[in-house]
Amino acid sequence: MKAGSVRTSIDLPRDLHRRLREAAARKGCSARQLVLASIERAVEQTEPARPRRRLSLDRPLIRPAGRRIDLTNEQIYELIELP
């Protein structure tokens, strides 16, 4: 076993194992190499993609529906009764 690797085993249906060996032969590689490449692709697809740009928090993410009300924090505190 190579250093830095982990051995694992899976149970494959006979038909799937046969098709795996055939696919590997068609590609000219071993079944192990084909399985590793497939696992790598599957893992890469499930990793969250980084956003292309940062979200701007300056403007609202959701458009307001209705009229705009301009209130300062002081005005809001005057309207709300706090304990």
Angle at 6 between CA 4 and CA 14, to 5 degrees: 145
pTM of structure: 0.52
Express each pLDDT in 3-57 by its tens digit: 888 999 999 999 999 999 999 999 999 999 999 999 998 888 776 767 677 767 7
Map out the domains of the chain as residue ranges. 12-48
Query: Higher-confidence residue: 73 or 16?
Result: 16
Nearest 10 degrees: CA dihedral of 18, 21, 27, 31?
Answer: 140
Q: Looking at residue 15, what is its pLDDT? A: 96
